[in-house]
Structure 1
Amino acid sequence: MIHLIWSIINLIIVVYFFYLLIGFILKGKRIFKPQFKGISIFIMIIGIVQIISASNSKKSTNHIAISKNYNKKDETKTKQIILEDNLTLDINLHVQYSIQQNNYIPIESYSSLTGLVMGYDWEFKSIDINNYNSNEQTEFVVNGILKWNLFGITVYNTSKTFNGKIN
């Protein structure tokens, strides 16, 4: 529920920014009401800075190469695991395997957020996973950081560790 409230707060701030921006273009300084003038100018300045700096920001790809020593001609298979299932957003893990004589060798992993993700960033840090045979299970450990953003600025970081099994 807290994730939904955070996303709604972010949505309100973005809508208010565009209201201020369009109003400033059409009406000028009259758009700033005296009782909210400080907050309105602050939101407008932060919004403009975020728009300008958005093109310069580096986005993490959330890809981690696990093994480069595999035969590229072998069959590959991708397994998907939901690491965290919330009301509004999920953290997903995709692991790609090379299949060599019934032995599954992890070669690459990718993690992402899905759902209503406004106000959040997921930074996939590490994965620990082993090879396994087709009739077995293997355990994994995934680490990452869930960033809570308010208008593009990170306000709070939550370190997350997930353990589980892949069959």
Structure 2
Amino acid sequence: MLELIWGILNISLLIYFFVICFKVIKLIRKNLGLLATLIFAFGNLSFVSKPNNEKEVKQFKIIDQTKITDEEKISDHIFNEEIIIEDKLITKIHASITFKEYNQEFRLLNAYTYRNGFVSGIDWEAKEIDIDKINSNTYKYTISGKKDWNLLGIRIFTELKDYKGFLKL
């Protein structure tokens, strides 16, 4: 619920910012002229436009401690397991873990996390993923990361998060 309120606050402040900008542009045009208005408008657009720094999905290579003695017995079966590590009212954080079958056993290949839903003003980034094998089909995972709470693009607060659980194949 807090994330929904935070997103609505972000959108409301952005709309209010645009209203203020239009009023300022009208005042500048009235008092200083068209050239000053154009310079102010383009200057504002340069600050508002955000560079395309979309983060690539950070994949974590998992080191599987299982010894492989006969490479020929590795099959081509690759499995992807999706788990939800946080389920809020409007957003979810997922973890995707990739396995490869070896002699009726599974070997960990990689893992990554992503967030979907209404994500306005909050950024999620995984910092570490640790997966330990309990038995042949059960794994214990620990995922550490951070949530950045932003207001109009400015980081206000960083929340460190740890998720722990079990995964059964």
The TM-score normalised by the length of structure 2 is: 0.74
Q: Distance in 2 between matches of 1:19 and 1:102?
A: 63
Which residue is equivalent to 2:13?
13
- What secondary structure is seen at the aligned counterpart in 2 of 1:74? strand
Change in CA separation of 1:125 and 1:149 when aligned onto 2, cut-off 3 Å: same
Change in CA separation of 1:21 and 1:76 when aligned onto 2, cut-off 3 Å: farther
Gaps spanning 5+ residues in structure 2: where?
31-42
Gaps spanning 5+ residues in structure 1: where?
32-43
Q: Is the 8 A contact 1:64 1:108 kept in 2?
A: yes
Which residue is equivalent to 1:29?
28
Write out per-residue CA displacement over residues 39-59 of structure 1, whole angstroms, 9 at most, x where no aligned residue: xxxxx96x85352xx326462
- What secondary structure is seen at the aligned counterpart in 1 of 2:126? strand
Change in CA separation of 1:50 and 1:159 when aligned onto 2, cut-off 3 Å: farther
Give the C-alpha shift of residue 63 in structure 1: 2.0
Give the C-alpha shift of residue 14 in structure 1: 2.0
Aligned AA (2:117): G
Q: Is the 8 A contact 1:104 1:133 kept in 2?
A: no
- What secondary structure is seen at the aligned counterpart in 1 of 2:163? strand
Change in CA separation of 1:21 and 1:122 when aligned onto 2, cut-off 3 Å: same
1:64 alignment partner, one of 43, 54, 60 = 60
Aligned AA (2:79): K
Give the C-alpha shift of residue 73 in structure 1: 6.2
Q: Distance in 2 between matches of 1:107 and 1:157?
A: 30
Which residue is equivalent to 1:4?
4
1:103 alignment partner, one of 102, 105, 118 = 105
Aligned AA (1:137): T
* Matched positions, count: 150
Q: Distance in 2 between matches of 1:6 and 1:146?
A: 13
Which residue is equivalent to 1:35?
none
Q: Confirm whether residue 150 of structure 1 aligns to residue 139 of structure 2.
A: no
Change in CA separation of 1:131 and 1:78 when aligned onto 2, cut-off 3 Å: same
Which residue is equivalent to 1:121?
123
Change in CA separation of 1:23 and 1:104 when aligned onto 2, cut-off 3 Å: farther
Q: Is the 8 A contact 1:97 1:104 kept in 2?
A: yes
- What secondary structure is seen at the aligned counterpart in 1 of 2:57? coil
The TM-score normalised by the length of structure 1 is: 0.75
Identity %: 29
Q: Is the 8 A contact 1:106 1:131 kept in 2?
A: no
After the TM superposition, which of the residue ranges 101-110 and 123-132 deviates more from structure 2? Answer: 123-132
Q: Is the 8 A contact 1:62 1:112 kept in 2?
A: no
